[in-house]
């Protein structure tokens, strides 16, 4: 199995990574089992079906805990160091020094959406706005509200499209949510959100995999293709696509299905760049 994973962490210990890979494999098998069980037990709520559901839930939560735990601990360290430095130097001095001191999120997975609605199920906080060259409308920058307390690195950029008549927005999502949003809305199964989004055994990306863009200029190699298969499989796990509920991991896409409904007109998962790995040093 390819060793690519969308969580932004190269420092994850190899053991932990292997554990997660094994869990991903396990969940994949459980998802296949669920399909078989569904076929053989057509009536809803059979005990076998419930059992498989529990297995899938268990896999999801375990994977989430493993990755979440690591990231939170890392980000808590970040916050602490920030606080301590501010405390020692005084706010004014630090703010001048740190201003604009960042590393760009290059290589993070991104996907774009054309929507008439800026809203989605996540809590975003605007952190900037820029006028873009040759664009009539400014681009707004949002980051996940839980960046500070949970270290969620998801960001999105929203820009109204050029066409004056339409109220459509071009929304670019960068990175997946690693937060566990405390809002009740996010905790309920996505297929309980009043949307005709059938419980599925495959990722929401599956039907879109043909539009999966490899942002690299290079031609895709067979290994790239296999990586993409792994990507969809992983997304099946982290996006909660396998069982229709979301534990808080990387749920942007499923949210766009469940919450924005048909306003999601054009979903383009893109940017699975070479190696599909985040460089943690780019997230300082």
Contact 277, 134 (CB under 8 A): no
Instruction: Evaluate the CA torsion angle 207, 204, 156, 153 in order and state its sign.
Output: negative
95 interacts with DNA by CB under 7 A: yes
Report, in Å, the least distance between residue 138 CB and DNA.
Answer: 8
Burial class, 134, CB count within 10 angstroms (exposed 0-12 / middle 13-18 / buried 19+):
exposed
Report, in Å, the least distance between residue 24 CB and DNA.
Answer: 28
**CA–CA distance, 235 with 229 (Å, rounded to integer):** 10
Instruction: Give the angle subtended at the CA of 117 by the CAs of 175 and 265, to the nearest 5°.
Output: 75
218 interacts with DNA by CB under 7 A: no
262 interacts with DNA by CB under 7 A: no
Site for DNA in 118-147 (CB under 7 A): 125-134, 139-141, 143, 145
198 interacts with DNA by CB under 7 A: no
The CA-based dihedral angle spanning residues 17, 23, 28, 32, taken in that order and rounded to the nearest 10 degrees:
170
Q: Which of 18, 103, 185, 213 touches DNA by CB under 7 A?
A: 103
**CA–CA distance, 185 with 180 (Å, rounded to integer):** 11
Binding segment (CB under 7 A) for DNA, from list 25-33, 91-99, 113-121, 193-201: 91-99
Over its C-alpha atoms, the chain yields an Rg (Å, rounded) of: 20
80 interacts with DNA by CB under 7 A: no
Using CB under 7 A, count the residues that bind DNA.
Answer: 32
Report, in Å, the least distance between residue 84 CB and DNA.
Answer: 13
Site for DNA in 156-195 (CB under 7 A): 157, 174
Tell me 45's DSSP state: T
Binding segment (CB under 7 A) for DNA, from list 26-34, 87-95, 200-208, 241-249: 87-95
The smaller minimum CB distance to DNA, of residues 44 and 281, is found at 281
79 interacts with DNA by CB under 7 A: no
Name the E strands within the chain.
Answer: 110-115, 124-130, 139-144, 155-160, 169-174, 266-270
89 interacts with DNA by CB under 7 A: no
Q: Which residue in the block uniquely carries the two structure tokens 């959406």?
A: 113
Report, in Å, the least distance between residue 86 CB and DNA.
Answer: 8
Q: Is residue 114 helix, strand or coil?
A: strand
Q: Which of 45, 47, 88, 99 touches DNA by CB under 7 A?
A: 99
Residue 196 Cα distances to 69, 199, 205, 258, angstroms? 33, 9, 17, 8
Report, in Å, the least distance between residue 228 CB and DNA.
Answer: 22
The smaller minimum CB distance to DNA, of residues 107 and 204, is found at 107
Q: Binding residues for DNA, per CB under 7 A? A: 91-92, 94-96, 98-106, 125-134, 139-141, 143, 145, 155, 157, 174
């Amino acid at each position: 199995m390819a060793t690519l994973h969308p969580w932004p962490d190269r420092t994850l210990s190899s053991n932990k990574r292997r554990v997660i890979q094994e869990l991903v494999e396990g969940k994949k098998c459980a998802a296949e089992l669920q399909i078989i069980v569904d076929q053989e037990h057509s009536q809803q709520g059979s005990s076998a079906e419930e059992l498989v559901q529990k297995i899938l839930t268990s896999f999801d939560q375990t994977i989430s805990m493993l990755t979440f735990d690591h990231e939170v601990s890392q980000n808590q360290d970040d916050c602490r160091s920030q606080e301590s430095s501010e405390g020692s130097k005084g706010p004014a001095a630090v703010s001048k020094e740190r201003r604009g001191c960042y590393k760009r999120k290059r290589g993070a997975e991104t996907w774009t959406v054309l929507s008439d609605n800026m809203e989605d199920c996540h809590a975003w906080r605007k952190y900037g706005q820029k006028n873009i060259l040759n664009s009539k409308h400014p681009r707004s920058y949002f980051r996940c509200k839980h960046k500070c307390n949970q270290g969620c690195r998801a960001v999105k950029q929203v820009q109204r499209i050029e066409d004056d008549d339409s109220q459509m927005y071009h929304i670019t999502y960068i990175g997946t949510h690693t937060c566990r949003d405390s809002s009740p809305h996010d905790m309920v199964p996505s297929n309980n959100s009043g949307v005709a989004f059938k419980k599925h055994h495959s990722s929401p990306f599956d039907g879109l995999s043909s539009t999966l863009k490899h942002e690299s200029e290079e031609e895709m190699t067979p290994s790239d293709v296999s990586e993409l298969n792994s990507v969809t499989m992983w997304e099946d796990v982290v996006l909660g696509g396998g069982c229709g509920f979301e534990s808080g991991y990387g749920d942007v896409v499923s949210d766009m299905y469940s919450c924005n409904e048909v306003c999601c007109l054009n979903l383009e998962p893109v940017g699975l760049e070479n190696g599909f790995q985040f460089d943690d040093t780019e997230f300082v």
